[in-house]
Structure 1
Amino acid sequence: MPQNKPTGIVLAGGHSRRFGRDKALAVLPEQTQPNVVLAVHKLLPLTTQIYIAANTQNAAALTTLFIDLPQVHICVDHADFTDCGPLGGLYAATAAQPRCHDYLLLAIDYPYLTSELLLTLAQQPRSYLATTAQAHYALAHFYTDHATVRQFLASGQRRLQTFIVNVVHCQPVMVATNPALQNLNYRK
């Protein structure tokens, strides 16, 4: 692990329409804790602090879950850019520390992600995880600042892929196809 650890961002503010309930707070049958708690505990050893991008519906519950972890901060989508998907969450998280930072991004959609895969990503700045079948842009390690995210959103852009590849210049870190990279979109 590099000496200077990145700041973690957990994207937990989605509407979870396809899943049918809040994915961040969901406890899957094979789990004992909510997805967001698992994500934070995977990020804690690799980061200096963690920003959880929440929505107005789950922010209070998330705040309660992490009240005893001072390095975990909850940030809610800003009125400037609501319903902007992952970029709205990134905007809210970077607003808390506007200067350029090293970020390790983890979407709540990956509850099966292993600590080993996350460590692989943490060791590769300017990268995202990918298999031969799929790119995982919401599992990324990059440098950016709040102004860059704001400018991207103000231009009408909303695609995380475009931001990760064209703006913060990440390259794929190829890993084997793995059940740990299953994206959680539908309730089990």
Structure 2
Amino acid sequence: MLGLILAGGKSQRFGQDKALYQLNNQPANNITLAVNKLSLLCDQILVSSNSTNYLPLTNQLATLTHVKVISDQEPYRQRGPLSGLFAASLLYPQKTDYLLLAVDYPLISDAIIGTIASHANCYATTPYSEHYAIAHFSFSADQLQNFLKLDNLSLGNFLREIVHCQPVSFPDSVLFTNYNYPKETIMLPKSKMSESDFQKLLKITLTDLAIRQTVIENQLQQVNQEIHSLEKDNKLDQLERKLQAIKNDYQHYLQFSNPSFKLDVTAFKADSANH
């Protein structure tokens, strides 16, 4: 099983390279955390980089003989996660078994990765999300290149349609947090938040859950209109599980909410105007 770490994203929203970033409560930066986790299961690891972080990553990992930093290759440079798979497939064109991990899952646990590694052709899911960048699967260079010729750059589509990966479900957890902005890496405990800030966070969370619920309910209506099939039944089951998880979370957070608290949206509008 060959480890493959996706570290070649542009990190535009984050504002700095995610692979080289270190969370306040972590002992090392994100690339070191990812390498350490995959090293428990893989004898060899490839790190997919971009033109900007190739040298810093190479220098940082130079003493690890089982780790090789690779860069995106034409004609699929900077085209998303499949660019990393394409670069790896040029080194290993035959069908190869990969354990995939994106560098921006710094909190993911060894137990979760071990569970994924123990299942063939699979990816991680939680009630709200599919985590295609936490996966275990086998593919060949020919399989990937034939897929890319269709001008389809979706990692999820490749895993589901070509490799026939199946989801492995996990409870929704902070361990699956994927950070997109630096401010998201700082979360105060309730004991250090003002009541106003705490209620504001609850309102935002409840609003987000309500929106998610509406989206899932609309998707359920659309799927219900499809012709009866096993695929339709599977879709309905997955959507209903997501919907129930959202409803459970909504009720959980609602009990802490103060009905009299009003969220001041003008602050958000002003903040958005400054960005």
Structure 1 residue ranges (4+ consecutive) displaced by more than 3 angstroms after TM superposition = none
Which residue pairs with 2:10 in the alignment?
15
Which residue pairs with 2:133 in the alignment?
138
Pairing 1:86-125 to 2, within 5 Å after superposition: 86-125=81-120
Structure 1 counterpart of 2:133, one-letter code: A
Quote how far apart the aligned CAs of 1:125 are: 1.0
Percent identity over the alignment is 39
Which residue pairs with 1:3 in the alignment?
none
Q: Pick from 25, 28, 31: which aligns with 1:30? A: 25
Distance in 1 (CA, whole Å) between partners of 2:61 and 2:167 is 32
Which residue pairs with 2:157 in the alignment?
162
Quote how far apart the aligned CAs of 1:22 are: 0.4
Which segments of 5 or more consecutive residues in structure 2 lack a partner in the other structure? Answer: 184-275
Quote how far apart the aligned CAs of 1:146 are: 1.6
Quote how far apart the aligned CAs of 1:70 are: 1.1
Distance in 2 (CA, whole Å) between partners of 1:56 and 1:151 is 25
Structure 1 counterpart of 2:151, one-letter code: G
Quote how far apart the aligned CAs of 1:32 are: 2.7
Quote how far apart the aligned CAs of 1:187 are: 1.0
Alpha-carbon contact 2:50-2:78 (below 8 Å) kept:
no
Which residue pairs with 2:232 in the alignment?
none
Quote how far apart the aligned CAs of 1:129 are: 0.6
Q: Which moved more, 1:149-158 or 1:132-141?
A: 149-158
Distance in 2 (CA, whole Å) between partners of 1:71 and 1:149 is 25
Which residue pairs with 1:45 in the alignment?
40
Quote how far apart the aligned CAs of 1:102 are: 0.6
Structure 2 counterpart of 1:187, one-letter code: P
Quote how far apart the aligned CAs of 1:163 are: 0.6
Quote how far apart the aligned CAs of 1:44 are: 0.3
Quote how far apart the aligned CAs of 1:98 are: 1.1
Deviations 1:42-62 (A, max 9, x none): 000111210000001101111
Distance in 2 (CA, whole Å) between partners of 1:184 and 1:70 is 29
Distance in 1 (CA, whole Å) between partners of 2:139 and 2:28 is 31
Provide the secondary structure at the position in 2 that maps to 1:52.
strand
Q: Which has the higher strand share?
A: 1
Distance in 2 (CA, whole Å) between partners of 1:50 and 1:76 is 14
Quote how far apart the aligned CAs of 1:154 are: 2.2
Provide the secondary structure at the position in 2 that maps to 1:79.
coil
Quote how far apart the aligned CAs of 1:145 are: 1.1
Provide the secondary structure at the position in 2 that maps to 1:80.
coil
Largest Rg, 1 or 2: 2
Q: Which has the higher helix share?
A: 2
Does structure 1 residue 64 correspond to structure 2 residue 59? yes
